[in-house]
Amino acid sequence: MGAEPHGISFGEASRTWARVAALSFGGPAGQIAVMHRILVEEKRWIGEERFLHALNYCMLLPGPEAQQLATYIGWLLHRTKGGLVAGALFVLPGFVAILALSFVYALLGRVPLVDGIFFGLKAAVIAIVLQAVVRVSARALKSNAMRLIAVAAFVAIFIFDLPFPLIIIAAGLLGFAGSKLNLSGFVGGAGHAASKGPRVEDSETALGSELPAHARPDLAWSLKISLALAFAWLAPVAALLAILGPDDVFSRIAVFFSQMAVVTFGGAYAVLAYVAQEAVQTFGWLQPHEMIDGLGMAESTPGPLIMVTQFVGFLAAFRYASGLDPLLAATLGAVLTTWVTFVPCFLWIFLGAPFVERLRGNATLSASLTAISAAVVGVILNLAVWFALHALFASVREVRFSGGSVEVPVLGSLNWPALLLTVLSIVALFRLRLGVPLLLTLAATTGIALRLSGLA
């Protein structure tokens, strides 16, 4: 095969994707900023307009948009193998790191040193999720209509416990209707801000402004690669159901996270709200504080935050798999969870990528995305409140009323050291503007000190 017209070798691209993955801390906004800085500003492989267009497409898809953006750009540069390598490398470092931390957690979770680390991480996680609420709000809530959708989404999930997919579907339909009725509050434009620096034009980059030949619509290619990926995703799920039955923990992991891959729109924090709701309340695979610990792992390692699902699958199989060594079962649970979570991400990109240019400027799709983004604000706020309740209070009681319920903390069970560390984390993040890796390091170190001194 000859050299690519843009002159970027596959080896150089692979090394760059590994670098992007190693630096991808701090959630989707931070990961997208890293990609923009390296690919657009530093390497000048792709221009501002094409980068943002790809991002807007990924925002329409279920799953982690940062990983899908890497897959899309990798495909744009080096076709199928480029997309597979870019997407896989984006996940691999986080998978290895969280698997190692999961082993430590399962075997040494009650050791004061490890316990102290997670005590500190919980406080930092509350601050980080709160920052996500603020950032997404600033981007998504640009009209009273969007603010009302956000409030309605919060009430729906926090008080009435409505399923996350139902909330997202309702918001998308509301945005669609608002666009068709030409209501002023339903205007597109949701998306992560990429950069405040000088704009890099597509024509000034290696890829150029013209559409690569392989990026032109090709139904035959799309169907071929999509069928292969769909088989790779669903065949293991079908095999587990047939061999082990629907009640086995591996079957439940495969089915649940496959469903999640289809319905979880709105970014990592919205997905985590759904996972927490189901894994803790429906399946009973782990406790609320363990879900927060898992998010602390995902926040403190490179890669998508949705890698916390790997930790959930690890603990589920560790505790409920029968006939296998618990650690072997846990490892298989982590691998299975990661497989059914991320293979669909490649499927969505390769299925739609050749047709993505047709989405440019589509006002109706943009309005639906804007409404979904507004609903996500309410969902993430629910996640922040849920985390805070279970991290700061030892006891929480449920108050029921007609049609719904609300969790209320037992004030006497307030953990004062946890509250103080949470407040300090919020100040460090919002006022001192510490980076997420530094905040997590300081919070974990403080947590160790508090645990070893007996103050927490």
Which of 315, 295, 293 lies closest to 305 in space, CA to CA? 295
Taking alpha carbons only, the member of 153, 127, 157, 163 closest to residue 387 is 127
What residue has token string 């469903």? 259
In terms of pLDDT, which residue wins out, 359 or 10?
10
Tell me the CA distances in angstroms from 299 to 25, 229, 292, 450, one per residue in order: 7, 29, 10, 21
* Distance separating alpha carbons of residues 353 and 217, to the nearest angstrom: 8
pTM, to two decimals: 0.76
- pLDDT digits 0-9 by tens, 186-241: 865 444 444 455 678 877 888 887 777 777 777 888 889 999 999 999 999 999 99
* Pairing of the two strands 396-401 and 404-409: antiparallel
279: Cβ contacts below 8 Å, ≥ 6 apart: 285, 286, 291, 312, 316
**Measured distance CA(82)–CA(402) in Å, rounded:** 54
- Closest of 386, 387, 395, 385 to residue 292, by C-alpha: 387
Nearest Cα residue to 91 out of 296, 302, 381: 302
The contacts of residue 278 (CB under 8 Å, 6+ apart) are 256
Task: Return mean pLDDT, the chain.
Answer: 86
What tens digit of pLDDT does each residue of 27-37 get?
A: 676 688 788 88
What pLDDT score does 167 carry? Answer: 86
